Amino acid sequence: MIEVQEVTKRYGTFSALDNISFSIKKGEIVAFLGPNGAGKTTTMRIITGFMPPTSGTIRIAGFDGLASPMAIKKQIGYLPETPPLYLELTVQEYLTFVGRIKGLDPAQLLSRMDKIIEQTGLKEVQGRVIGHLSRGYRQRVGLAQALIHNPPVLILDEPTTGLDPNQIIEIRDLIKNLAGSHTIILSTHLLAEATAICQRVIIIHKGKIVAIDTPEQLSAKLQQSETLSLTVEQTYPDFALELGRLPGVLAVTQGTSPNSFMLETQQGRDIRSEVTKFIVSREIGLLEIKAQPLTLEDAFKVLTKESPADR
Amino acid sequence: MNPVQTIVAKELRSYFVSPVVYVIGAIFLAMVGLLAYSTVASASNQALRLMQIQNTYAQLNLNELLFRPLFRSMNLILIIVIPLLTMRLFAEERKLRTFELLLTSPIGINEIVSGKFMSVLVIYSGMLSLTTLIPITLSAYATFDWRPVYLGYFALLLQGGLMLGIGVLASSLTENQIIAAFLSFGMILALWMTGALSSAMGETPLGHILAYLSFTEHFERLIRGLLNLKDVLYYLSGMAFMWFATHQVIDSYRWK
Ligand SMILES: Nc1ncnc2c1ncn2[C@@H]1O[C@H](COP(=O)(O)OP(=O)(O)OP(=O)(O)O)[C@@H](O)[C@H]1O
Ligand SMILES: [Mg+2]
């Protein structure tokens, strides 16, 4: 549905995007993850046709970005970083305007309007002037304008910033519900958000793609070593030492309580059953043992860490 | 509604919910009204004096004594009023980032520029048409030649259109409305000044070019009741130029 090929974007001599390529299938939800200045917004602006790339090509739904910009614009609903709101208009007037410039005819507009206002929770404020709305509501109006023409592709630049925790959950649910029927790219700084909503994550750093993968696989790939956490009913003085002598265990550290331990184990070697056998043989009561997955948080830190050569 | 009409409708809505357009309109009408009143007063004084001296009934030439000076003054007022009308058009879109919405929608830059220009032209025409109360009222009390009056309004429409074009262009150049207003004021003034400069140059080729560029001559001929195609073309090509330049400026945002 979305194909980005070898796209480079320079602002003057500064390279904001450096030869990035990826493709997104119909119905997928993908997150752009990256720190400030990574190039997320720039990538989105290029995909939406707001600005052309310095080099490279974009294809959306089979249309080429350069050859048929209008066809592409019809396919896309876009929520920019700053919601593009006319503060003097009411929510309804604004959505009517957006619907019209997106090419809806009056009948379509009428049927979409109620649906979108319902979906984005704008019912009670639909007659109010946008300039008088709170930030969270403005963000919703921004989302509503991206959805009004029911576009197959949604590009959402940080859709949940400025919302309170309840609203964040609502908006995430809304986005999740749109998946399948829509192809969605959203950008975020929050790893939890990417994992919660998206099927794939594209990690961008300094204008380059550092990784593209599912949230789980990404963490698996990144693990330099795996961690097991275990809790027992009782211990004895040399227990930790003996644990450390088990094959495949690299280090043992005390967990949060005296009876829990963290084992650093060699990568790619699942030794849970060996550890279990050992503890059972000592008859000290195994309460819990589990592999501790590396969170995307950790993955992100590792992947976007500057390598010494960069400095 | 086609995209241009959609934009015109939205702009008119935006104009009328803000107090700015009412204030500008009121100031414009008050100034024109006051000018008309004082011009009529001084013209009738003049007539009275003539009557006393010559002891005859003096026929006032209202076209010469009233309308021509009034149209000239209105032209001057426009130099101040028009930049205030146009300053928000594009500057605000840039400031509020709503441009990102327009430029990612399936509408062309030409439609955006035309819509903005036409919306402000509608506002201006409305203001101008209210001033037609002056000749209409006067026609009840005096007789005058209507042709120069019609042409005078035609000239003011063209003149306003050209200035609006300049204002639209200026507004596209910055995201600061105040700067946009000063820019258009400066550009209009510069265009006007070429007239003064041309008279200093005299009958040289450059002098002719400058005289053509300035609106003074073209405006003057029209309010005297002379309809020449080249004067009309001057205004129309000026507007087309401003439209095109604005189009280019907006197109270039995306390449930065
Ligand atoms: N118009 C511009 N002119 C010059 N440099 C720009 C321009 N827009 C963005 N940049 C630069 O390009 C880089 C990428 O910016 P971009 O806005 O895409 O980052 P981002 O990933 O969206 O960051 P954030 O998380 O803060 O939104 C930044 O270093 C930024 O300073
Ligand atoms: Mg950004």
> Is the same domain home to A156 and A175?
yes
Q: For residue B224, give its domain range.
A: 3-253
3-state SS, residue A157: strand
Chain B closest CA to A222's CA: distance in Å? 37
Q: For residue A125, give its domain range.
A: 2-220
> Is the same domain home to A85 and A25?
yes
Q: How many CA atoms lie within 13 A of B74 on its CB side?
A: 32
For residue A308, what pLDDT band results from cuts at 50, 70 and 90?
very low
What average pLDDT score do residues B31-44 get? Answer: 86
Domains in chain A: how many in total? 2
Output the CA torsion A241→A242→A245→A251 (10° steps): -40
Expressed in angstroms and rounded, the spacing between residue A15 Cα and the centre of ligand 2 is: 15
Q: What does B180-223 look like in DSSP terms, one character per residue?
A: HHHHHHHHHHHHHHHHHHHHHH-SSHHHHHHHHHSSHHHHHHHH
Of the candidates A84, A88, A145, the beta carbon closest to that of B17 is on: A88
What average pLDDT score do residues A104-128 get? Answer: 92
Distance from CA of residue A287 to its chain's centroid? 35
- Of A40 and B211, the one with more pLDDT: A40
**B1 touches A: beta carbon within 8 Å:** yes
> Is the same domain home to A125 and A265?
no
Q: Would you mind telling me the total number of residues written for chain A in this entry?
A: 311
> Is the same domain home to A145 and A282?
no
H/E stretch holding A201 reads: strand A200-205
- The 10s digit of each residue's pLDDT in A170-210 is 888 888 888 878 999 999 887 778 878 888 999 888 888 98
β-bridge pairing A153-157 and A226-232:
unpaired
Domains in chain B: how many in total? 1
Whole-structure pTM value? 0.82
> Is the same domain home to A265 and A148?
no
For residue A293, what pLDDT band results from cuts at 50, 70 and 90?
low
CATH of residue A268: 3.30.70.100
Expressed in angstroms and rounded, the spacing between residue A42 Cα and the centre of ligand 1 is: 6
What average pLDDT score do residues B213-240 get? Answer: 90
Chain B closest CA to A76's CA: distance in Å? 8
- Ligand nearest to the CA of residue A45, numbered in listed order: 1
Give yes or no for a contact between B175 and B91, defined as CB atoms under 8 angstroms apart. yes
The letter for the amino acid at A213 is: D
What average pLDDT score do residues B92-107 get? Answer: 94
> Is the same domain home to A85 and A184?
yes
> Is the same domain home to A94 and A228?
no
Within 8 A of A80 by CB-CB distance, chain B residues are 97, 100-101
> Is the same domain home to A151 and A274?
no
pLDDT of residue B89: 95
- Binding-face residues of B in 181-220 toward A, CB within 8 A: none
Output the CA torsion A173→A174→A179→A185 (10° steps): -100
pLDDT of residue B255: 67
The letter for the amino acid at A66 is: L
CATH of residue A141: 3.40.50.300
The letter for the amino acid at A10 is: R
Residue A310 domain flag: no
> Tell me, what's the ipTM?
0.88
- Ligand nearest to the CA of residue A33, numbered in listed order: 1
> Is the same domain home to A162 and A66?
yes
